[in-house]
Amino acid sequence: MIGPEAGSDEEANRERGTDPESAASPLLEVEDLDVHYPITKGLLRREVGRVRAVDGVSFDIERGETFGLVGESGSGKTTAAHSVLGLEEPTGGEVRFDGQSVNELSGAALRAFRRRAQLVVQDPNEAFNPRLTMGEAVAEPLVLHGMEDADRRRAIVEDLLERVGLSAADADRYPHEFSGGEKQRLSIARALVLNPDLIVADEPTSALDGRVQSDVLALLDDVRREFNISILFISHDIDVVRRFCDRVAVMYLGEVVELGPIENVLEFPAHPYTRLLLGSVPSLDPTDQQFERPLTDTVPDPADPPSGCRFHTRCSEIVPPEDVELPWEQWRAVVAFRFTLQAGELPESIAVETADGKLDDATVRDRFDLPATLQDDAVDAGVDQAISAVIAGDLQTARDRLSETVPTVCEQRVPTATEHEAAHSVCCHRYDSTVEAEPRSWER
Amino acid sequence: MTTEHDSTTTADDRSEATPLLTVENLRTRIRTERETIYAVDGVNFTVDRGETVCLVGESGSGKSVTCESLTGIVPQPPAEIVDGTVEFDGRRLLEATESELRTIRGSRIAHVFQNPQSALDPVCTVGDQFVEAITIHEEISPAAARERAIERFRAVGIPRASARIDDYPHEFSGGQRQRIAIAIALAADPDLLIADEPTTAVDVTVQARLIELLQGLTDGGMSILCITHDLRVVAALADRVLVMFGGTIVERATTEQLLTQPSHPYTQALLDSYDGLSRRADRSARGEIPTDGCRFRAECPHAVDVCAGPDQPTFAAVADREHHAVSCVHFGPEGDPEPILDDWREMRPISGGQQ
Ligand code: SF4
Ligand code: SF4
């Protein structure tokens, strides 16, 4: 660590907390962040669309807090984290660090920010130049930030190596002499060398397993307590997030769908997508292996996300129209039928037999768990017609019939984040008092 | 899924009574410029027909090298299988020639890896790859092979399989690629599927579908030997579990036994690390793993002089339970396992509090 004497005056002031605002505002504020990539076509690279990798994401991180971002591939969690560090240019919104907009920083202020916010990446093997000793690698940021005294650098590095559970003598060894877990400790040491306030850890333990993974997590936890560092922790592993984070935001297709204290979100998940995620993790009880199933298995293309609530094509809690009177199972079967047709990912039994001309009404109903008659007359008529269209091989008509028959507020309106309980927000129509739908109960 | 194989089989049903796979005293060394690694060092286990056995352990414990030694896919050199027997359905694999092994790999024992990319050829359609896998070992007309491909891709849950069979691997999602890799591995109806971390690289919602797929395979009588570091995957898939450390198996148990009463001190440490920011400070830094005696002794809180060997401690039953045994001196005739079993009572039982 750089001792107090090492920093410039400006840094020293900050460390003593002379800025009255710094104590009050969160360390990091992310507001309405967008990161959109143009999709271009042809020689002129004409923009034909946009991948909305991150779309309107907001969250804060307090000093000393560990904040998790979870989601599956394509959720935008890594892009969001990278744009916090300025590694990725946001196309909209703002990231404020210590009250100052990161995008507007330049000169000394930008250098200070680069020192105060550090990245730890997933694969420790890629983090080090094989030709530098670990001592040189860990000291590199000090050199880049202008510390010229080699003895001081050495002293700082040796001290850090010991803090992360290695020995001072390891400074003279090369990357290949260390195990994966040791290398990850070294990348944590290197992140700490500039005395940061924020560490962005991008899947820092997914290349590790078992006790080594647990050790590295414990190390991160120790350093954050000891130095009051905030951590933005990106992970797909819910067990790791549960152990390590204070609060968590769950992302789906570029948006935050649920955000709150770890025990609320992971023990009492409110958003249907969070429930799907948790319900897909196998239980540790071998006799209880029931998985939660999404409405459809097709993950939409992030370049062309569904309208309204982006999760609606897979949401098994999707809201029925007010005038539809169907038992829950029947409603679910009808919308599953609808969105499976819409995704075009037809079960093989249906698609093959379409070609053979052998498909009949009973086969389609059987495949989609649709009873011979549905309790709601209008829906029943619509589904009948849609099935006839499927049999006739006219999928477009089938889709149109179904979308007329069972429209849903979930595809029509974009849900807004609502405070579900204190400090726990959910972005789902079922939690919005202006929408006629109650949250459903959930049990793992 | 039953695990009572030994007690329910009858003597005259030979194919049921003999395990499909019997591995005895397997030893594989890896020679590098600097050292010789005792990657697999005296491993014994069996896999019954229709059974799923999981090998768990941390990276470097020897679980992958064990599996790759069985059918000779471990690169030799630097690896060398120096001892042991591998008997698969009456055939001794370690003595087999490379071409015999190739036949066995294509038809009887299939491999699936963590990363499906390594198994799929990027410049070849998935349908052609399936057809190739099947025609190497079976006389079958191209049309029939193609039909079989569609049927199998459908069975592993590839939507619109007939339309997608001529697509290239990159045109599928990661989860679908892994399903396709599994379908191709299963093209010739193998008796044994060896899967090395098959769900590690996919998202959790996809993993759930893959687990269902793998669960379904054993219903049809196939056996699975699955390597994983994820205890949740173990809970979902395994009938029995083998825990490896330092090239040796240290504990064998049914899944239930392992998760509720891990008994080897290493297994206890492994399970304890799963849900806590555990006692890092209490543990001495992990250095070299010994290559004789109990490999865990440098880190074991219960170590005594006899743990130093020279041989790995003999397996002894845990509390007279069938199927549950550990390689630890305290469980032997002279030992007292109570302090070790007490340890686990103090640690948080992992299948208790949380899901
Ligand atoms: S808004 Fe509708 S589709 Fe979206 S999560 Fe809520 S219930 Fe599901
Ligand atoms: S044999 Fe000795 S070192 Fe090994 S686990 Fe038992 S007590 Fe520990």
* Cross-chain residue pair B273–A213, CB shorter than 8 Å: yes
State which amino acid sits at residue B13.
D
Report how far Cα A121 is from the mean position of its chain's Cα atoms. Answer: 16
CA B355–ligand 1 middle distance (angstroms)? 25
CA A309–ligand 1 middle distance (angstroms)? 6
Pairwise pLDDT comparison (B39 vs A211), residue with the higher score:
B39
Q: Which residue from B154, B161, B205 is facing A280, i.e. has the nearest CB?
A: B205
A310 domain-assigned: no
B14 domain-assigned: no
Encode pLDDT of B223-246 as tens digits.
999 999 889 999 999 999 999 999
What pLDDT is attached to residue B287? 63
A299 domain-assigned: no
Contacts of B3 (CB under 8 A, 6+ apart): B51, B239, B240, B254, B255, B323
Residue B14 binned pLDDT confidence (cut-offs 50, 70, 90): very low
A253 domain-assigned: no
* Cross-chain residue pair B238–A286, CB shorter than 8 Å: yes
- Indicate the number of domains in chain A: 2
B6 domain-assigned: no
Do B62 and B170 fall into the same domain?
no
CA B269–ligand 2 middle distance (angstroms)? 12
Residue B155 pLDDT greater than 80, yes or no: no
What pLDDT is attached to residue A23? 55
* Cross-chain residue pair B154–A281, CB shorter than 8 Å: no
The nearest CA of chain A is from the CA of B99 a distance in Å of 35
What tokens appear for A155 in the block? 């002293």
Any atom of ligand 2 within 6 Å of the Cβ of B302:
yes
Pairwise pLDDT comparison (B207 vs A356), residue with the higher score:
B207
Protein residue whose Cα sits closest to atom 3 of ligand 2: B297
Mean pLDDT, residues A131-146 taken together: 86
From chain A, pick out residues whose CB is under 8 angstroms from the CB of B274.
214, 239
What pLDDT is attached to residue B282? 42
Residue A43 pLDDT greater than 80, yes or no: no
What pLDDT is attached to residue B355? 40
* Cross-chain residue pair A214–B276, CB shorter than 8 Å: yes
Residue B185 binned pLDDT confidence (cut-offs 50, 70, 90): confident
A438 domain-assigned: no
Do A229 and A358 fall into the same domain?
no
B261 domain-assigned: yes
The CATH number assigned to the domain holding B198 equals 3.40.50.300
What span, in angstroms and rounded, lies between the C-alpha atoms of B272 and B291? 25
From chain B, pick out residues whose CB is under 8 angstroms from the CB of A215.
273, 280, 283
Any atom of ligand 1 within 6 Å of the Cβ of A399:
no
Ligand 1 atom with least separation from CA of A431: 6
Do A17 and A154 fall into the same domain?
yes
CA B86–ligand 2 middle distance (angstroms)? 28
* Cross-chain residue pair A211–B58, CB shorter than 8 Å: yes
B88 domain-assigned: yes
Encode pLDDT of B51-62 as tens digits.
999 999 888 889
Pairwise pLDDT comparison (A175 vs A334), residue with the higher score:
A334
Do B216 and B330 fall into the same domain?
yes
Pick from B260, B266, B252, B341: nearest CA to B298:
B266
Any atom of ligand 2 within 6 Å of the Cβ of B307:
yes
What pLDDT is attached to residue A27? 92
Residue A352 pLDDT greater than 70, yes or no: no
What span, in angstroms and rounded, lies between the C-alpha atoms of A74 and A370? 32
What span, in angstroms and rounded, lies between the C-alpha atoms of A70 and A271? 13
The nearest CA of chain A is from the CA of B249 a distance in Å of 16
Decide which of B156, B174, B189 is a domain's last residue.
B189
Residue B273 binned pLDDT confidence (cut-offs 50, 70, 90): confident
Residue B4 binned pLDDT confidence (cut-offs 50, 70, 90): very low
What tokens appear for A296 in the block? 């459809």
Encode pLDDT of B94-131 as tens digits.
888 888 888 888 788 988 887 777 778 888 899 888 88
DSSP for A207-257, please give it. Answer: T--HHHHHHHHHHHHHHHHHHT-EEEEEES-HHHHHHH-SEEEEEETTEEE
Do B133 and B180 fall into the same domain?
yes
Do A334 and A238 fall into the same domain?
no
Residue A32 pLDDT greater than 90, yes or no: yes
Mean pLDDT, residues B312-338 taken together: 88
Do B128 and B272 fall into the same domain?
no
What span, in angstroms and rounded, lies between the C-alpha atoms of A171 and A153? 11
* Cross-chain residue pair A238–B209, CB shorter than 8 Å: no
Among the ranges B41-55, B90-104, B179-193, which has the highest mean pLDDT value?
B41-55
Report how far Cα A116 is from the mean position of its chain's Cα atoms. Answer: 23
Tell me: cis bond preceding B78? Omega within 30 of 0 counts: yes
Decide which of A196, A228, A245 is a domain's last residue.
A245
Decide which of A197, A213, A245 is a domain's last residue.
A245
Any atom of ligand 1 within 6 Å of the Cβ of A119:
no
Boundaries of domain holding A172: 9-245
B248 domain-assigned: yes
Q: Quote the ipTM score.
A: 0.84
Mutation test of the interface with chain B: which of A211, A252, A262, A339, choosing the one with the most B Cβ atoms within 10 A? A211
Question: Does residue A271 contact residue A426 with C-beta atoms inside 8 Å?
Answer: yes
- Indicate the number of domains in chain B: 2
B1 domain-assigned: no
Residue B321 pLDDT greater than 60, yes or no: yes
What pLDDT is attached to residue A250? 96
Among the ranges A141-155, A258-272, B265-279, which has the highest mean pLDDT value?
A258-272
Do B276 and B132 fall into the same domain?
no
Mutation test of the interface with chain A: which of B1, B204, B300, choosing the one with the most A Cβ atoms within 10 A? B204
Contacts of A261 (CB under 8 A, 6+ apart): A246, A247, A423, A424
Do B30 and B88 fall into the same domain?
yes
B81 domain-assigned: yes
Encode pLDDT of A238-267 as tens digits.
888 998 899 999 999 999 999 999 999 999
Any atom of ligand 1 within 6 Å of the Cβ of A300:
no
Q: Mean pLDDT, chain A, as a whole number?
A: 85
Protein residue whose Cα sits closest to atom 6 of ligand 2: B328
* Cross-chain residue pair A210–B231, CB shorter than 8 Å: no
Question: Does residue A402 contact residue A410 with C-beta atoms inside 8 Å?
Answer: no
Do B40 and B157 fall into the same domain?
no
From chain A, pick out residues whose CB is under 8 angstroms from the CB of B276.
214, 243
Q: Which residue from B150, B280, B355 is facing A284, i.e. has the nearest CB?
A: B355
Do A333 and A198 fall into the same domain?
no
DSSP for A295-331, please give it. Answer: S-SPPPPTTSPPSSSTTTTT-TTPPPPTT----HHHH
Do A73 and A194 fall into the same domain?
yes
Decide which of B189, B208, B230 is a domain's last residue.
B189
Boundaries of domain holding B57: 20-108+192-280+294-306+324-348
B286 domain-assigned: no
Ligand 2 atom with least separation from CA of B295: 4
Any atom of ligand 2 within 6 Å of the Cβ of B330:
yes
From chain A, pick out residues whose CB is under 8 angstroms from the CB of B212.
291
Do B260 and B333 fall into the same domain?
yes
Decide which of B189, B224, B247 is a domain's last residue.
B189
Protein residue whose Cα sits closest to atom 6 of ligand 1: A428
CA B304–ligand 2 middle distance (angstroms)? 7
Report how far Cα B293 is from the mean position of its chain's Cα atoms. Answer: 24
Residue A36 pLDDT greater than 60, yes or no: yes
Decide which of A220, A245, A270 is a domain's last residue.
A245
DSSP state of A347: -
Do B237 and B334 fall into the same domain?
yes
Contacts of A128 (CB under 8 A, 6+ apart): A134, A137, A175, A183, A186, A187
The nearest CA of chain B is from the CA of A241 a distance in Å of 10
Do B197 and B184 fall into the same domain?
no
Mean pLDDT, residues A168-195 taken together: 85
Residue A5 binned pLDDT confidence (cut-offs 50, 70, 90): very low
Pick from A83, A82, A109, A87: nearest CA to A98:
A109
Residue A17 binned pLDDT confidence (cut-offs 50, 70, 90): very low
Stated pTM of the model: 0.87
Mean pLDDT, residues A427-441 taken together: 86
Question: Does residue B137 contact residue B153 with C-beta atoms inside 8 Å?
Answer: no
What tokens appear for A34 in the block? 């967008």
What pLDDT is attached to residue B66? 92
CA A269–ligand 1 middle distance (angstroms)? 14
* Cross-chain residue pair A282–B235, CB shorter than 8 Å: yes
Do A206 and A349 fall into the same domain?
no
Do A366 and A230 fall into the same domain?
no
Ligand 1 atom with least separation from CA of A312: 3
State which amino acid sits at residue A443.
E
Query: Strand pairing of B79-88 and B91-92?
Result: antiparallel
What percentage of chain A has pLDDT greater than the value 70?
A: 92
DSSP state of B109: E
From chain A, pick out residues whose CB is under 8 angstroms from the CB of B60.
179
Q: Which residue from A284, A294, A344 is facing B259, i.e. has the nearest CB?
A: A284
Q: Containing H/E element for B192?
A: strand B192-196
Instruction: Point out the least confidently predicted range of A72-81, B140-149, B287-296, B342-351.
Output: B342-351
Residue A10 binned pLDDT confidence (cut-offs 50, 70, 90): very low
What span, in angstroms and rounded, lies between the C-alpha atoms of A382 and A398? 9
The CATH number assigned to the domain holding A190 equals 3.40.50.300
DSSP state of B120: S
* Cross-chain residue pair A210–B229, CB shorter than 8 Å: yes
Mean pLDDT, residues B159-173 taken together: 83
From chain B, pick out residues whose CB is under 8 angstroms from the CB of A345.
159-160
Any atom of ligand 1 within 6 Å of the Cβ of A59:
no
Ligand 2 atom with least separation from CA of B302: 7
Do B34 and B71 fall into the same domain?
yes
DSSP for B54-69, please give it. Answer: EEE--TTSSHHHHHHH
Tell me which of A251, A316, A335, A410 to substitute to probe ligand 1's pocket, judged by most ligand atoms within 8 Å of the beta carbon. Answer: A410
Residue B275 binned pLDDT confidence (cut-offs 50, 70, 90): low
Give the number of beta-carbon pairs within 8 Å between A and B. Answer: 129
Full strand arrangement of the beta sheet holding A66-70 = A117-120, A198-202, A230-235, A66-70, A247-252, A255-261, A424-427, A417-421
Mean pLDDT, residues A404-422 taken together: 90
CA B219–ligand 2 middle distance (angstroms)? 38
What span, in angstroms and rounded, lies between the C-alpha atoms of B134 and B149? 9
Question: Does residue B213 contact residue B182 with C-beta atoms inside 8 Å?
Answer: yes
∠ CA B33-B34-B38, rounded to 5°: 100
Report how far Cα B183 is from the mean position of its chain's Cα atoms. Answer: 19
Do B50 and B104 fall into the same domain?
yes
Protein residue whose Cα sits closest to atom 4 of ligand 2: B294
From chain A, pick out residues whose CB is under 8 angstroms from the CB of B162.
348, 351-352, 355
* Cross-chain residue pair A348–B159, CB shorter than 8 Å: yes
